[in-house]
Structure 1
Amino acid sequence: MNTHLKTYHPYVSPFDPCKPMLEKKYSTPPHLYMGFQPPNLPQFSPFEALKAGTLWKDFYDPWYGPNEIAEGGIPS
């Protein structure tokens, strides 16, 4: 799995009174895929790093609301 966005199919009970959600999505942080932090990673400028929440571009993981993900994936 190369993407940070994962999906799964939860159990749907035949007795559930609510409309079932057949597929659920969640995001995994990028640091899970790096064993050690390699040297000389590209960095944001100090101002961009404050907005992004991290100094290193490889660790940047924006958060998207549930409606944004449901409307066709992660927006560019």
Structure 2
Amino acid sequence: MNTHFKSYYPYASPFDPCQPVTEKTYSTPPHLYMSFQPPNLPQFSPLEALKAGTLWKDFYDPWYNSFEKAKRGGEI
């Protein structure tokens, strides 16, 4: 099973004067996990498609940053 959120652990130098960020996360778009576009995918209405940035619901990614995710309680 693929997840749209990945994380990695950057190197933290012992000589860095700032508090290190131990884990960084990023989002990958849903179209990376489809090898082709299947026919008859569900579509947004034209107004919803303009707001979402895509016509097809399967390609929609809400793309929350880490602060928004914390405010929403981890809702994805």
TM-score, reference length from structure 1 = 0.87
- Cα deviation for residue 65 of structure 1 reads 2.5
Structure-1 separation of matches of 2:49 and 2:68: 24
**Alignment-derived partner of residue 12 in structure 2:** 12
One-letter identity of the residue aligned with 2:21: M
**1:64 Cα deviation after fit:** 1.2
- Unmatched 5+ residue regions in structure 2? none
In structure 2, the residue matched to 1:50 is 50
Identity %: 77
Asked if structure 1 preserves the Cα contact closer than 8 Å seen for 2:5 and 2:28, the reply is: yes
Q: 4+ runs of 1 displaced by more than 4 Å?
A: none
Unaligned runs of 5+ in 1: none
Alpha-carbon separation, structure 2, partners of 1:68 and 1:45:
26
For 2:67, the equivalent position in structure 1 comes to: 67
TM-score (norm: length of structure 2): 0.87
Q: Do structure 1's residue 23 and structure 2's residue 18 form an aligned pair? A: no
Secondary structure of the 2:7 match is strand
Distance 1:53 1:43 in 2: 12
**Alignment root-mean-square deviation, CA:** 1.4
